[in-house]
């Protein structure tokens, strides 16, 4: 046997090679910095629950009953404008075999958990309050949020959107954030796991870096673990998508966040206006919106930062005919976003909750059985009509987990068809990276 001839441990015959182990080591050493950079920049999805929406409530309008009020108003809208499964399905075009399933789950969701992600707004949606009033509202919001987490009535995710870091409102935004975070610590002890902060109207990556510096300083001041405070970046300006030098600013923003960014949220109306889109055509399915979100999606892929769609400002209010038209619009926009892998969006009115959940639940209930069977075939290497790859198995598992987390499907349903419990699904959705060895 020559120097480079090795015997395969699985087979008795010799396998000839030409490269020595030293070559393997040399290539490994050459690419070690790349391996480290890949691991740092592209850790993959965090594997945590992904809320299906974000509800924005002005800071001066928040009460201890806000979430329950939204759920009750949504249920009342259903009772008035689509009182049974058949009428609700007819309005939205939900297939007959899914009508009862979707309707029943929507009503249950509105009773049990009407809001998955609450953002208390101190920016565009907050008006008419002087500095003392905003101080008081921020402090009250902290007390209410701390109390909600103590008594178990908080949304799974809750946080605030202060003013941006532009010069005119910078100090006001920093102060509001400080008051809110300090109040949470004073009234609630440790910060809640579901805490989310939103940095709006970001134009330069340097603003993201400055926000990181601000959060780092707060953590050190209050003896919090480094990196405890994380935030989502709102993409509302043209410069956030394309910089003056032609590069994608949003990619640099993710890097500037130094691991603290959790999401990129598309701002439908500010972004559209920045591009000169007329008010009548500002919508999340406008070509300008599609381009911005596509850039956001590519920049965020693999980083663990999630992309969130915007909202519609067509509210389901007034007579039944107008409500039905608004519902159909919202339902269609949500379904369109889901097909494009934007699994979260904004909701601005309680009347949007029935169609948000109807669209999400129909999306997952239509597809969970084929997805579970495909994943079972992959896990068993049983083949089937479609030959899937590891990346597809990962996507199938992630799809099923999102459906379970939002309440569209039950774990038992998925397990019965896939043979996988929650731990098994997690293993496929977030496979561990392993180093190859020569």
Q: Are residues 275 and 208 in the same domain?
A: yes
Q: How far apart are CA 358 and CA 265, in angstroms?
A: 22
88-128 tens-digit pLDDT: 999 999 999 999 999 999 999 999 999 999 999 999 888 87
Per-residue model confidence (pLDDT) at position 349: 97
- 9: Cα separation from own chain's centroid: 46
Among residues 303, 332, 359, the one where a domain terminates is 359
Same-domain check for residues 143 and 112: yes
Residue 438 belongs to a domain: no
Q: Tell me the backbone φ, ψ of residue 114, rounded to 5 degrees.
A: -65, -25
The tokens of 288 are what?
């300008």
Number of domains in the chain: 2
Are 57 and 182 found together in one domain? Answer: yes
Residues of the domain holding 291 = 53-359
The pLDDT tens digits along the chain (438 residues) read 444 454 545 555 789 999 999 999 999 999 999 999 999 999 999 989 999 999 999 999 999 999 999 999 999 999 999 999 999 999 999 999 999 999 999 999 999 999 999 999 999 888 877 889 999 999 999 999 999 999 999 999 999 999 999 999 999 999 999 999 999 999 977 899 999 999 999 999 999 999 999 999 999 999 999 999 999 999 999 999 999 999 999 999 999 999 999 999 999 999 999 999 999 999 999 999 999 999 999 999 999 999 999 999 999 999 999 999 999 999 999 999 999 999 999 999 999 999 999 999 999 999 999 999 999 999 887 555 555 678 889 999 999 999 999 999 999 999 999 999 999 999 999 865 444 433
pLDDT in tens, 235-257: 999 999 999 999 999 999 999 99
Domain boundary among 359, 389, 419: 359
Residue 346 near residue 53 (C-beta atoms within 8 A): yes
Determine, yes or no, domain membership for 13.
no
Out of 338, 359, 380, a domain closes at 359
Q: 25 in a domain, yes or no?
A: no
Q: How far apart are CA 428 and CA 176, in angstroms?
A: 41
Is residue 331 located within the same domain as residue 416? Answer: no
Contact 310, 290 (CB under 8 A): no
User: Looking at the structure, do residues 244 and 283 belong to the same domain, yes or no?
Assistant: yes
Tell me if 268 is assigned to some domain.
Answer: yes
Residue with tokens 């109807």: 358
What's CA 236's distance to the chain center, in Å? 17
Evaluate whether residue 434 is within a structural domain: no
pLDDT digits (tens, 9 = 90+) for 366-384: 999 999 999 999 988 755 5
Q: How far apart are CA 14 and CA 6, in angstroms?
A: 6
Task: Say whether 264 sits in a helix, a strand or coil.
Answer: strand
Return d(Cα 79, Cα 111) in angstroms, integer. Answer: 13
Q: What is the DSSP string of 383-416?
A: --SS---HHHHHHHHHHHHHHHHHTSS-HHHHHH
Six-digit token pair at 247? 């590069």
- Continuous segment of H or E residues that includes residue 303: none
Residue 435 confidence (pLDDT): 42
The answer to whether residues 293 and 412 belong to one domain is: no
CA distance 153 to 149: 6
Measured CA to CA, the distance from residue 215 to residue 227 in angstroms comes to 8
Q: Which residue from 336, 332, 425 is spatially nearest to 376, judged by alpha carbons?
A: 425
Same domain, 256 and 375: no
Residue 83 tokens read as 């009182």
């Amino acid at each position: 046997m020559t120097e480079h001839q090795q015997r395969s441990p699985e087979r008795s015959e010799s396998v000839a090679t030409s490269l020595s182990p030293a070559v393997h080591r040399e290539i490994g050493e050459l690419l070690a910095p790349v391996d480290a950079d890949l691991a740092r920049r592209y850790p993959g999805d965090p594997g945590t629950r992904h809320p299906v929406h974000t509800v924005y409530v002005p800071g001066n309008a928040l009460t201890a009953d806000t979430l329950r009020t939204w759920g009750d108003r949504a249920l009342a809208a259903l009772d008035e404008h689509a009182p049974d499964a058949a009428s609700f399905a007819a309005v939205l075009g939900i297939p007959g075999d899914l009508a009862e399933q979707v309707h029943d789950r929507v009503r249950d969701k509105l009773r049990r958990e009407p809001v998955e992600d609450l953002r208390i707004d101190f920016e565009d949606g907050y008006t008419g309050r002087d500095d003392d009033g905003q101080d008081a509202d921020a402090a009250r919001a902290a007390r209410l949020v701390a109390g909600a987490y103590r008594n178990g009535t908080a949304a799974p995710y809750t946080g605030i959107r202060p003013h941006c870091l532009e010069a005119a409102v910078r100090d006001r935004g920093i102060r509001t954030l400080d008051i809110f975070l300090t109040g949470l610590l004073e009234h609630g002890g440790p910060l809640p796991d579901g805490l989310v902060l939103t940095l709006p109207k970001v134009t330069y990556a340097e603003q993201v870096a400055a926000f990181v510096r601000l959060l780092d300083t707060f953590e050190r001041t209050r003896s919090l673990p480094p990196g405890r405070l994380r935030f989502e970046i709102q993409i509302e300006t043209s410069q956030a998508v394309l910089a003056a030098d032609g590069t994608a600013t949003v990619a640099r923003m993710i890097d500037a966040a130094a691991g603290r960014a959790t999401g990129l949220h598309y701002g439908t109306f500010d972004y559209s206006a920045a591009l000169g889109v007329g008010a009548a055509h500002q919508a999340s399915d406008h070509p300008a919106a599609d381009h911005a979100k596509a850039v956001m999606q590519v920049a965020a892929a693999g980083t663990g930062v999630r992309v969130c769609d915007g909202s519609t400002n067509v509210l389901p209010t007034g007579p039944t005919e107008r409500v039905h038209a608004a519902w159909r619009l919202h339902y269609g926009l949500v379904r369109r976003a889901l097909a494009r892998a934007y699994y979260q969006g904004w909701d601005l009115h309680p009347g949007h909750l029935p169609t948000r959940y109807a669209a999400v639940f129909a999306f997952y209930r239509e597809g969970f059985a084929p997805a579970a069977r495909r994943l079972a075939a992959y896990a068993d290497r049983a083949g089937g009509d479609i030959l899937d790859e590891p990346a597809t198995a990962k996507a199938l598992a992630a799809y099923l987990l999102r459906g379970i987390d939002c309440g569209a499907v039950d774990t038992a349903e998925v397990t019965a068809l896939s043979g996988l419990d929650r731990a098994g699904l997690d293993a496929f959705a977030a496979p561990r990276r392993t180093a190859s060895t020569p």
